[in-house]
């Protein structure tokens, strides 16, 4: 596997992942822009509207027909929140030319043409998006926002983040807010789209058995040529030291049969190397089935159905997640705090460190097993401007010592305790 990146124009990059491991071509386009309250809902809506039709493929049926003619090509799009950025993601997967029943079709060229058209040449009527599409997608986005309460565990985590980052970009919900939808129409949404395309960071990823002329296909593409150089409006992901001044407790009532307890932890470290140490700390605390939280809170004390933790490196936070009986709140919270304190005292073994490293290394090795996972990995490298191969990543993890983990443990503070109860 070989990874090559190149800036095509200022703010626009192509990332080539050369691999013979897969029979498919995978192309992805990521539009990255700063999260803000004024545009978060519009951007979420844009990602939905773009899939509805283009200038030359004006309906979803037309797009589907084109994909069928490309031997069942698969298109997908999505939306993400990466640190203080909102990311619109578009994927197109097709079979590689080497595995076609007949030669000479140039599937890479078709893949590039179709995906660039979907993202950069949408269907426009009288200087606006097609009104019918916008209205329909407004309803879909509204349903998606309203349905966030259906997954109570995810809802509790989102609410904890919202409380921790109140009034800050990371506290925003990536799909936006229903109250914004009323003032969005096909015209002002199209204006927001044009502003996004002119100012966002654009990353084009291609993965598979790559055509030698692939870069030229992109450079010569009409949609790419129309794009202007830009000083991209996005936030570079940097580790920022954080220390909670006090614990903020938030309780919310809802019709739930099981309580959801989330603790938002701050890390008072600012060095880039510390993220590898934090990765090990999180794994030992709650990131695996061998972790302190799983073994002590769930298995031994039987105080939780679920007990885990996750490390958000873009924001230097760890979030502890537990599903508990509501009446066990105090017991569960005290036992979670006890695990955090035990980590500060160095009450973890070399065997626990070894198991944590094995689990993390296994996850890193899996990066190269899926094309989309590879793309997400290298996108993360691009966003943090911390370029590292998969093998270098594994080596960084292996080098983490008990002293490194203990140092992290003693720089952990509890910022927010969120409890969703009946």
395: tokens are 């080596």
> How far out from the chain centre does Cα 56 lie?
31
The tokens for 201 are 């960071």
Beta strand 74-82 pairing with 85-95 = antiparallel
Spell out the per-residue pLDDT of the chain, length 422, in tens: 899 999 999 999 999 999 999 999 999 999 999 999 999 999 999 999 999 999 999 999 999 999 999 999 999 999 999 999 999 999 999 999 999 887 678 999 999 999 999 999 999 999 999 999 999 999 999 999 999 999 999 999 999 999 999 999 999 999 999 999 999 999 999 999 999 999 999 999 999 999 899 999 999 999 999 999 999 999 998 888 989 989 999 999 999 989 999 999 999 998 989 999 999 999 999 999 999 999 999 999 999 999 999 999 889 999 999 999 999 999 999 999 999 999 999 999 999 999 999 999 999 999 999 999 999 999 999 999 888 999 999 999 999 999 999 999 999 999 999 999 98
C-alpha 167/C-alpha 32 separation (Å) is: 21
Query: Distance (Å, rounded) from C-alpha 5 to C-alpha 205?
Result: 9
pLDDT (0 to 100) of residue 240: 87
Q: How many of the other CB atoms lie within 10 Å of CB of 309?
A: 26
For the residues of 30-70, what is the DSSP string, one character each? Answer: EEEEE--TTTHHHHHHHHHHHTT-BSSS-SHHHHHHHHHHT
CB-count burial class (<10 Å; 0-12, 13-18, 19+) for 231: exposed
Residue 69: CA count within 13 A, CB half-sphere: 11
For 170, list phi and psi in degrees, rounded to 5: -65, -20
Give the pTM.
0.96
Length of the chain: 422
**What angle do helix axes 402-409 and 350-365 make, rounded to 10 degrees?**
90
Domains along the sequence of the chain with CATH? 2-226 (3.30.830.10), 248-421 (3.30.830.10)
Question: Exposed, middle or buried, 282 (CB in 10 Å: 0-12/13-18/19+)?
Answer: buried
């Amino acid at each position: 596997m070989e990874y090559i990146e190149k800036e095509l124009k200022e703010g626009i990059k192509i990332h080539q992942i050369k691999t013979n491991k897969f029979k498919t071509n995978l192309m992805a386009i990521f539009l990255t822009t700063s999260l803000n309250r004024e545009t978060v809902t519009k951007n979420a809506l844009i990602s939905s509207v773009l899939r509805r039709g283009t200038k030359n493929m004006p309906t979803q049926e037309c797009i589907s027909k084109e994909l069928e003619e490309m031997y069942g090509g698969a298109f997908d799009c999505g939306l993400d929140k990466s640190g203080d950025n909102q990311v619109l993601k578009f994927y197109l997967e097709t079979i590689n030319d080497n595995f076609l029943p007949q030669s000479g079709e140039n599937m890479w060229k078709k893949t590039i043409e179709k995906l660039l058209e979907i993202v950069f040449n949408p269907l426009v009527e009288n200087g606006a998006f097609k009104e019918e599409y916008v209205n329909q997608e407004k309803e879909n986005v509204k349903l998606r926002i309203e349905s966030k309460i259906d997954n109570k565990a995810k809802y509790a985590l989102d609410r904890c983040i919202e409380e921790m980052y109140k009034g800050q970009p990371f506290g925003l919900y990536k799909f936006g807010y229903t109250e914004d939808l009323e003032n969005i129409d096909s015209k002002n949404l199209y204006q927001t789209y044009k502003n996004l395309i002119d100012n966002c960071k654009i990353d084009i990823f291609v993965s598979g058995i790559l055509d030698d002329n692939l870069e030229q296909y992109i450079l010569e593409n009409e949609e790419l040529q129309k794009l202007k150089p830009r000083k991209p409006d996005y936030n570079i992901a940097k580790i920022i030291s954080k220390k909670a001044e006090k614990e903020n407790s938030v309780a919310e009532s809802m019709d739930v049969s099981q309580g959801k307890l989330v603790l938002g932890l701050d890390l008072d470290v600012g060095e880039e190397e510390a993220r590898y140490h934090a990765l090990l700390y999180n794994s030992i605390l709650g990131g695996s089935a061998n972790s302190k939280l799983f073994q002590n809170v769930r298995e031994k004390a039987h105080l939780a159905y679920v007990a885990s933790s996750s490390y958000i490196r873009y924001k230097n936070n760890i979030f502890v997640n537990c599903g508990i009986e509501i009446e066990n709140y105090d017991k569960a919270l005290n036992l979670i705090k006890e695990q955090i304190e035990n980590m500060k005292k160095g009450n973890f073994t070399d065997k626990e460190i070894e198991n944590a490293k094995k689990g993390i290394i296994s996850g890193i090795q899996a990066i190269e097993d899926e094309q989309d996972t590879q793309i997400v990995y290298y996108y993360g490298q691009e966003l943090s401007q911390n370029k590292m191969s998969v093998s270098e990543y594994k080596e960084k993890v292996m080098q983490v010592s008990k002293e490194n983990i203990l140092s992290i443990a003693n720089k952990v503070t509890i910022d927010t305790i969120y409890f969703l109860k009946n």
